[in-house]
């Protein structure tokens, strides 16, 4: 599975690189702090799979990188996705690196 560090992701965001951010956390987690991703909670991914592009740079994240990793693995195995990247350490790693700065 491909992964990206918070620092590398922030550089992509700041440079205006074309990417899609998908937050697979629960709504209360997303409301607390997010980096602009579309909220698709883990339990609803299969219902909303049409919102996850099959092409382009797509980064999934959660609190610690575990749920997003599981989602990526399932999407790769069941639907043939090859363009998904996991945020290493999730939002905990982001906040440890940058605080609440997007």
pLDDT tens, 26-37? 999 999 999 999
Q: 38 forms bridges with which residues in the sheet?
A: 22
Structure tokens at 49: 């799979």
Place of tokens 């382009």: 56
How many separate domains does the chain show? 1
**pLDDT surpassing 90 at residue 23:** yes
Enter the pTM of the model: 0.95
Q: Model confidence at 100, in pLDDT bands (50, 70, 90)?
A: confident
Query: CA gyration radius for the chain?
Result: 12
Instruction: Decide if pLDDT at 101 tops 80.
Output: no
Instruction: Report how far residue 63's alpha carbon sits from residue 69's, in angstroms, rounded to the nearest whole number.
Output: 11
Report the alpha-carbon distance of residue 40 to residue 75 in Å, rounded: 14
Give me the chain's average pLDDT, please.
96
Nearest CA-CA partner of 90 in 30, 44, 16, 45? 30
CA distance 8 to 3: 10
Structural domain containing residue 86: 2-98
User: Which pLDDT tens digit goes with each residue over 52-65?
Assistant: 999 999 999 999 99
Which CATH number belongs to the domain containing residue 71 in this structure?
Answer: 3.40.250.10
């Amino acid at each position: 599975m491909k992964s990206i560090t918070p620092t590398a992701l922030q550089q992509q965001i700041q440079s205006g690189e074309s990417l899609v951010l998908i937050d697979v956390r629960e709504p209360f987690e997303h409301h607390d702090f997010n980096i602009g991703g579309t909220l698709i909670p883990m339990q609803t991914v299969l219902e909303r799979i049409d919102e996850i592009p099959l092409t382009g740079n797509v980064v999934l994240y959660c609190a610690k990188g575990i749920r997003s990793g599981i989602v990526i693995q399932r999407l790769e195995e069941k639907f043939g996705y090859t363009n998904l990247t996991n945020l290493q350490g999730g939002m905990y790693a982001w906040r440890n690196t940058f605080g609440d700065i997007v």
